[in-house]
Amino acid sequence: MIHSFIFSDGKIVGRDLEVEALRLLLADKGLILWVDLDNPTDDEIKAVLEGVFHFHPLAIEDCVTPSSLPKIEDYEDYLFMVTHAVDFTRQDKFASTELDLFLGKEYLVTFHRTPLRSVAALIDRLARNAGPGPRGPDRLAHSLLDLLVDNYAPMLTELHTELEEIEEIVLSQSSDKKLVTELLQVRGDFTKLRQIVRPQRDVIERLARGDSKMIRATLLPYFRDLRDNLARLEETLVGYHERLMMAFDIYLNKAAFEANEGIKFLTALTAITLPAVLIGGWYGMNFDHMPELHSPHGYLYATTLTIVTTALMAVYLKKKKWF
């Protein structure tokens, strides 16, 4: 599906035009054009990316091919960016959606395979004329990226909630057999998010430094603010990840302690029964020349010796706090 918006002096003057009309409007230097490709067909991709804007084949290939990492490429008359939006729910867990941007002097082209909340929110804002309209495609790109980064917050909140639940389970007396699986899953979610946030921060860093001629000087403070937001987000993720690893270490130490306590109990049980085993084994040999067998008090002696030695062993182990 192709959505298009035409701006003049910060106001929408047209939307959802035909492809041929987009080609004609692109030649008008007084207009700003935003084309959003939402899960387009192959024909729509070819008609817009190749037929209207004539993007480089390598940029088109990077656009239509899923990429796991954000990136930025500076071409002669436009800028190509790969960014990622994230979503997280307790049911579906971590999910990311790639958002590609082609930023020129008079246009912005966005490409995504699935609907994005950031794109929908910007379209709704522009349709309602909420605030001043964009007077440049770089301003449109910033608004879109800013909304995309803002949508990281709900996921971070969900992950923080899961982290607190894990810490509560780890520090409780009872152990949960599913805890290791949950720990590894949450660790994987943190790792995936960090793999997106760090490269994305580097992409915004290039824009914030003014390395690209497609970003006007007046927009640089806005991109610097966006970079700072990503930096704070990354620091928060690092802190959460360290807390998760600490909880994992506590769980492993707790499991090792419980295993040692079990081994100590079994060892103590073996030690307590050792006198009875030795005495019973000695008198159970039934040799002919054992004086103890012919004594009238032999059974009493053996029983008393067994009880006394077992009691002494129990007192010794109690002092050692083995049970």
Lowest mean pLDDT among 45-49, 191-195, 299-303: 299-303
Using one digit for the tens of pLDDT, what is the confidence trace for 255-291? 777 777 677 777 777 777 777 777 777 666 666 666 6
Scan for tokens 């994987």, then name that residue: 188
Does position 133 have pLDDT exceeding 70, yes or no? no
Contact residues for 86 (Cβ-Cβ < 8 A; gap 6+): 94, 95, 96, 97, 151, 152, 155, 193, 196
Its pTM stands at: 0.73
Let me know how long the chain is: 323
Most confident of 11-15, 57-61, 93-97, 297-301: 57-61
Q: Using CB atoms within 10 A of its CB, is residue 116 exposed (0-12), middle (13-18) or buried (19+)? A: buried
* 174: Cβ contacts below 8 Å, ≥ 6 apart: none
User: What pLDDT does 95 receive?
Assistant: 72
Are β-strands 2-8 and 71-74 bridged in parallel, bridged antiparallel, or unpaired? unpaired
Q: Which residues contact 269 (CB under 8 A, 6 or more apart)?
A: none
Any idea which residue has 């656009």 for tokens? 63
Does the pLDDT of residue 102 top 90, yes or no? yes
Question: Within 13 A of 26's CA, how many CA atoms are on the CB side?
Answer: 19
| Burial label, 235 (beta-carbon count in 10 A; 0-12, 13-18, 19+) | exposed
CA–CA dist 141, 172 (Å, integer) = 48
- For residues 228 and 150, the answer to whether their CB atoms sit within 8 Å is no
Residue 110 confidence (pLDDT): 92
| Cβ count near 30 (within 10 Å) | 7
pLDDT for res 93: 61
What residues pair up with 22 in beta bridges, in sequence order? none
Over the chain, what is the mean pLDDT?
Answer: 79
Contact 39, 122 (CB under 8 A): no
pLDDT: which is higher, 132 or 22: 22
